[in-house]
Structures are given as structure tokens and as C-alpha cells.
Amino acid sequence: MALRVGIIGGGQLARMMIAPAVELGVDVRVLAEQDGMSAGLAASAVGDYRDLDTVLRFARDVDVVTFDHEHVPQDVLRGLVDAGVQVHPGPDALAVAQDKLRMRAALADLGMPQPDWAGVADAAALDDFIAAHGGRAVVKTPRGGYDGKGVRVVDSASDAADWLDALEPGGQLLAEELVDFTRELAQQVARRPSGDLVVYPVVETVQRDGVCAEAIAPAPHAAGRLADVAGDIGEAIAVGLGVTGMLAVELFETSDERLLVNELAMRPHNSGHWTQDGAITSQFEQHLRAVLDLPLGDTALRAPWAVMVNILGGPETDSLSDRLPAALHAHPSAKVHTYGKDPRPGRKVGHVNVAGDELDAVCYEARAAAAFFLD
Amino acid sequence: MALRVGIIGGGQLARMMIAPAVELGVDVRVLAEQDGMSAGLAASAVGDYRDLDTVLRFARDVDVVTFDHEHVPQDVLRGLVDAGVQVHPGPDALAVAQDKLRMRAALADLGMPQPDWAGVADAAALDDFIAAHGGRAVVKTPRGGYDGKGVRVVDSASDAADWLDALEPGGQLLAEELVDFTRELAQQVARRPSGDLVVYPVVETVQRDGVCAEAIAPAPHAAGRLADVAGDIGEAIAVGLGVTGMLAVELFETSDERLLVNELAMRPHNSGHWTQDGAITSQFEQHLRAVLDLPLGDTALRAPWAVMVNILGGPETDSLSDRLPAALHAHPSAKVHTYGKDPRPGRKVGHVNVAGDELDAVCYEARAAAAFFLD
């Protein structure tokens, strides 16, 4: 009997689990939001993930339920667990990923290094926070943000007046210190329900307009102490929050060389796409192994360097396939991954991975190949 | 619009094209012989590949038709071409792969090194051939053999009496010199319809009972001249026969250091499964690129050594998934590929790939991991 994993959500993360699932002999089934999504090949159902009956029906034929995104409501997650369904990551862990205020509080409880932060319920509280932090702050809506959405840099509460006005009674925004960072890093770990855990090499990520644009593995100039600390942070969070499956910890490296936790994601993450062609075990295979409570795979790099460059937006008029011939001709060592999504400004529609011996050459190949898919 | 490839045959070779197809954004559709086959996830139709109408209907929605096996009859292949369907490899090339007598004649026309051979229509002719070759010969049925089936070593025509009796009027068996070889090698090349061609590193294969058991890439002690000659043979055959897609050339290395062509396969081949985890471009991705006439990918190794070990037969009572936990626990760097087939003695049900720096260690990991799946 094949192992069966049900994935809620039909986006590119679910899509990229299909390849390792087929090879490992895992039967993946996807509950897609609609027809024609990225993971359509494995879509065994189309329906609303906010509806418990729909999700329970989908879960009936699988051994474990996992996720393409973190938006499944807590009542649905609890309903699954109450019905005896294996859910990884579980509701308690996901609750932390779903709410940034809760995340900050949980990280504080774990003693993790993070930016100064506060929950602010009104303009006075936000202005106090801004005044106490040099006249600027980052304000975030606790729920629903991604890829830079729901995040603003402000120097006055009036810059967030619309969000403050929209708060429900008892609601708060998250105010954070604007960190003076020199670069962003990401640490991935995988953890099984039975407790085993593996750590990936820490990577450097380059964000543009709040969206991940590139990842370089391993992070340059991070050997030794910095990589160890990043790995320790990842492990402490995974264990402390009881994360099962893949966990990505986005980190700031500050100008005074501290690491501060920026965001968490409890699933395969854009910062780990390089693992498909640069690590012995890709994050997508690892996530499947982890949620099935199978032994975890080797996280070592396959080559000294691996670089991932996102295809953001894509060509305005062509499809990605129209651009494949020229890109593949110019870059025979580039691995092009497409998501089956229509190009749209700012949308992630694919990425390119390159692995090799020389960082400069690897970066060039990946960036130049990705550029073929942009206007 | 996604590129669409139709694969005739639902076996493991079709299955292993699914992963690279998803990543590259190629829409693969499979005409499977029955439900529940290895490539079932991509099966868009179930039907008889010997029936032209079935195949034409299947081909209507794809850009190119290719194959999981070489058994599609010539009249069906010609019917596809006549209907304007792109077919790769084409009927003329496949005719050579489908008939071993025709293959020997074609290789002779190309001046390729091969064992002495003759078509024999009766016992007298076969006994003459045996007498002229030291009292032994290999006899093959020209059509339908695979994995050692349809092949016998004989020292008298009486050993092949049943095959001789079954010959149709005008029919012949293939008699070949029993080659004194020290090892077997396999050379893979890929060729696009527009002519571009790439060559993989030549590999050593280990056969047991006529079935491929292991492949070691690159073939040890083959650097330089031997590898060049093998590559030249692969290229000459691909060009000479007009092969499109992947071509595997099985070679004997003789005790006097010649390379002789043993068999041909015009599709991804067991000797190339190592490329999934050991080469920058796997043979399955390469085959898709080639038949779509896309630029071909880099064939370089990702690591100094890559070894593939077949899982032959599998466990007698368990399924492969039951054996996964122990195998993955003991061998975290092993990449396990399963075919979704029920274990049966001698059946290929999966394989294990390992890549790394030290040949001994890589061989050990691959063999030891594969052993977990056998009783």
C-alpha cells in the first residue's frame, strides 16, 4: 500500500512535492482551491479549505494531511485532529505561524533573538513605540500578510491609520523595531513527529520589494559560528513550537553581527527552492518524509554553491514555454522550474536553480537564465 | 500554452518522465495499457497501443508522441506520421530497434564495431555458424526480447530447435559470436530533431541473469580514449539512424580492449537511471527536451561518482513502502525511486541512486540501501 499524503492548497509548493512523491512512491492528493492550479496534476478534489466537511471528506483517503499554505482556519485544523486525522504541522504550531503577534510572543518565550516589538491597539501606542525607536517602525497586520503585503515602514501612526481603524475590538497591530541589517538569511530545518530533526545549510536571501528574489546556498562568509547559531535558532524554534515538516526561519543579520528572527514559515519555503538541485534531499522530498514520519534525508549540498533566482512576473505577452528555447540554449546547466501560472506583474511564476563550484559563475548562470523569462 | 508530450506506454520510464515534466512545465499525457500502471498519475487514456484509432485519438491533444517502450507496431507509427503527428523517435529509427537482425545490418552499414553475426533460417545454417565460432554462439529472436528474454547461449542448433520450428516462412534467427568481454558498458546520447546532440559519460553496467543490476558512472578506468570512442560510437549511431530523443548503446569491452555494440534502446534506459541524481540533466528530462526539439541540457556529472542499483523482485510479502523506513534510516544520502509495481521475482520494481566523492563508499551506500528492499 503506497503512503498517501493529502496537501491542502494547489499552489506551487504542492506542485513541487509531486516530483519527489512520484519517485519515492508516495501517493499525493491535493485539495485545490479551483481547477487549473499549479498542482492540478495531483488534484483529487477541488473545494474550500475553510469548510470542515470538505476537508474531512478529502482527508478520508490519506494517511496524513499537510499544507501548501498556512491559511487553513484553526477550527478546521482542530476538526481534523478531533476526527483522528494526522495533521502536520499541527494546529498549535500553525497557530504561531498564522498570527505574527502570537509568533513574537512565542519566540520571546523561547528566548529567541528578535527585533523589539509590541502589540499596539491604537495610534497613541504606535506613536509611543515609534518615538522609543528612533522615529521609525515597521507595522504589520498580524494575519494574512505574505510577500511584503501587510507590512509598512512608518514614521507616524497616521501612516497606519487605515489599519488601526479596521482593528476589531481587542485587536492589535504588530509594531517592530526597524532593524539595521546588513543582509537577510534563511535557516531551514525539518522535524519528524517522532522528534528527529535535520538542519539545512543557512542561506542568504535577497529580497526585492518585500519578495524573495534570490537565495544563495550556503550563505557566503557564514561558515562556522554564524552558521552554527542560525542552525541552533532553527532547531530551538522547531522543537520549542513542536513544528513537524519543514520550517523556514527568516533572519536578519545586523550590522553588529547579531541574528534576529524576522518571520517563520511552516512548510517548504521560497528560500529553500535551491535544494531541488543543490541539496541531496530537496525540501519538498524532506517535507513529505517528515510529515509521513519517515527518516529524514541528508541535507548536504551537492556542490559547493547553489543559487536560486525567482522568475517574478514573467513575460508580459508570451507564456514561459515560449521563452524556454532561448533560455535553455544559452544556459544548458540551468534548471528551470515553472509553476503553471499565468504571468502577472510581481507574481512568482517559476525559478531557476544552478549549482556549481564557483559562486560568481553560478550566480551569473542563474540570473542570466531567469532574465530570459522577463520582458 | 504548455508544451504537451504524449507517451505511449505506462511503465516506469513514462513514470520517471513525470517529475521533470512537472518542473519544466511540460504537460505529459500517458496512453497506459491498463489502469493502475506505474505512470498512472499522468494517464490521460487507457487503451491498446496496437490500435491506430486509439493512438490517433490519444495523439490529437499533444504536440509530440514518444514512447515508454519500443513495441508500437510500424503500421501504427506510420499512421501517426501520415496524420501529421510529430513522432520521436520516428518509425525508421524505431524499426531498427524493433528488429535485432535489422539492427545488425544497419550497424554494419554504419561501419560500427559489433560481434560477428548472421541471420540463420534453419538448423544447418546455425550449426555452420556455431562451428565457425569455436563451437558456441548466442542465438536471439529478432523481435520482442528484453531483459535477457529471447536470448540463449547454444552449442548446437538443437538448443534452439523450438525457435527454429516457430519461424515463419522467410524468417530468421540472429546468431552472434559469443564475445569474450571483460565488462559491459553503456553509452547514452540525446539528439534533437533539428540535429543537436549531447553525449553522457560512458557507464559500466553489471548484468545479472541478463538483467541490468547496477550502473557505475562514469565507467571506472575509462577516462580518455575509451570514453571518447564510446561517445563517438553513440554519436555515429544516433546520427546514422536518425534517432531522436535518448539513445542507449550497450557495449561489450573485450579482453583485447575493443568496444563492440551489443544492443540499442531508443528511449530512456536502465543504464541511465543514475542521471536522476548524478547528472545535471537526467535522461528523463533530456528525453522530453529532445523530443520537443528544445535545446539539450548539460550531461555533466554532479559529483565524481554516481551509482545506480536496481531493486529486482522486491520483498516477497511486504510492499516497498513497508521497507522505506529502515532503508532511509540507514542510508540518508540514498535516493530511492520506486515504480508503483507489485513485487514479483526478477521484476524491476525500483532503484537506488547514490552520488558522491569516493567510488567505494558510493557503491556501498547504493547496494546496501537497495538490499533493504529484498528478502
Cβ–Cβ of A302/B302 closer than 8 Å?
yes
Overall average pLDDT of the A125-137 stretch: 97
Tens of pLDDT, residues A251-291: 999 998 899 999 999 999 999 999 999 999 999 999 999 99
Please provide the average confidence, as pLDDT, over all residues in chain A.
95
Q: Residue A210: which pLDDT band, with cuts at 50, 70 and 90?
A: confident
Nearest CA in chain B to A42: B41
Cβ–Cβ of A319/B280 closer than 8 Å?
no
Q: Quick check: A21 and A287 in contact, CB under 8 A?
A: no
What's the rounded Cα separation, in Å, for the pair A178 and A297?
37
pLDDT at residue number A147: 64
B66 found inside a domain: yes
Residues of B in contact with A354 (CB under 8 A): none
pLDDT at residue number B2: 81
Same domain assignment for residues A319 and A276: yes
Overall average pLDDT of the A221-246 stretch: 95
Assign residue A245 a region (left: φ > 0; alpha: ψ between -120 and 50; beta: otherwise).
left
Overall average pLDDT of the A335-348 stretch: 92
A100 is in an annotated binding site: yes
Overall average pLDDT of the A101-110 stretch: 98
The answer to whether B333 faces chain A, any CB pair under 8 Å, is yes
Residue with cell 542465438: B139
Share of chain A above pLDDT 90, in %: 89
pLDDT over 90 at A149, yes or no = no
Distance between A80 CA and the closest CA of chain B, angstroms: 25
Same domain assignment for residues A270 and A334: yes
Same domain assignment for residues A14 and A130: no
pLDDT at residue number B53: 97
Residues of A in contact with B2 (CB under 8 A): 319, 321, 340
Cβ–Cβ of A23/B281 closer than 8 Å?
no
Residues of B in contact with A339 (CB under 8 A): 25
A344 found inside a domain: yes
Residues of A in contact with B294 (CB under 8 A): 324-325, 328
pLDDT over 80 at A148, yes or no = no
**Contacts within 8 Å (CB) and 24+ apart, A263-266:** A263/A100, A263/A103, A264/A96, A264/A97, A264/A103, A264/A237, A265/A70, A265/A97, A266/A67, A266/A70, A266/A89, A266/A93, A266/A94, A266/A97
Distance between B318 CA and the closest CA of chain A, angstroms: 9
CATH of the domain at B30: 3.40.50.20
Same domain assignment for residues B262 and B365: yes
The answer to whether A314 faces chain B, any CB pair under 8 Å, is no
Same domain assignment for residues A132 and A70: no
Last residue of a domain, one of B176, B198, B224: B176
B279 found inside a domain: yes
Which grid cell sits at A193?
513527529
pLDDT at residue number B316: 81
Q: Quick check: B291 and B245 in contact, CB under 8 A?
A: yes
How many Cβ atoms are within 10 Å of A371's Cβ, its own excluded?
15
CATH of the domain at B265: 3.30.470.20
Cβ–Cβ of B332/A296 closer than 8 Å?
yes
Residues of chain B with pLDDT under 50: none
Cβ–Cβ of B329/A295 closer than 8 Å?
yes
Which residue would you say has higher pLDDT here, B103 or A146? B103
Overall average pLDDT of the A30-35 stretch: 96
pLDDT at residue number B146: 63
Cβ–Cβ of B324/A3 closer than 8 Å?
yes
Same domain assignment for residues B28 and B151: no
Contacts of residue A180, defined as CB under 8 A and 6 or more positions apart, other chains included, come to A254, A255
Same domain assignment for residues B218 and B350: yes
Number of structural domains in chain B: 3
Tens of pLDDT, residues B258-300: 999 999 999 999 999 999 999 999 999 999 999 999 999 999 9
Which of A297, A320, A350 comes nearest B328 by C-beta?
A297
Burial class for A197, CB neighbours closer than 10 Å (0-12, 13-18, 19+): middle
Same domain assignment for residues B68 and B209: no
A98 found inside a domain: no
Tens of pLDDT, residues B289-347: 999 999 999 999 999 999 999 999 878 878 899 999 999 999 999 999 999 998 888 89
Q: Which of B122, B31, B93, B89 is nearest to B293 (CA)?
A: B89
Which of A25, A303, A337 comes nearest B321 by C-beta?
A25
Same domain assignment for residues A65 and A186: no
Q: Give me the amino acid identity at B347.
A: R
Same domain assignment for residues A214 and A186: yes
Which grid cell sits at B95?
524499426
pLDDT at residue number A145: 65
Which residue would you say has higher pLDDT here, A198 or B319? A198
The answer to whether B278 faces chain A, any CB pair under 8 Å, is no
Q: Residue A361: which pLDDT band, with cuts at 50, 70 and 90?
A: very high
B322 found inside a domain: yes
Residues of B in contact with A333 (CB under 8 A): 280, 297-298, 300
Tens of pLDDT, residues A43-52: 889 999 999 9
Nearest CA in chain B to A354: B280
pLDDT at residue number B145: 64
What's the rounded Cα separation, in Å, for the pair B64 and B59?
8
The answer to whether A197 faces chain B, any CB pair under 8 Å, is no
What's the rounded Cα separation, in Å, for the pair A80 and A64?
10
Q: Which of B196, B158, B208 is nearest to B298 (CA)?
A: B196
Q: How many contacts (CB atoms, under 8 Å) link A and B?
A: 118
A99 found inside a domain: no
pLDDT over 90 at A318, yes or no = no
Same domain assignment for residues A233 and A334: yes
Assign residue A148 a region (left: φ > 0; alpha: ψ between -120 and 50; beta: otherwise).
left
pLDDT at residue number A315: 83
Residues of B in contact with A18 (CB under 8 A): 18-19, 22, 41
pLDDT over 70 at A1, yes or no = no
Q: What domain range includes position B148?
A: 116-176
Cβ–Cβ of B325/A296 closer than 8 Å?
no
Same domain assignment for residues A195 and A171: no
ipTM value: 0.94
Q: Which of A353, A358, A355, A357 is nearest to A369 (CA)?
A: A353
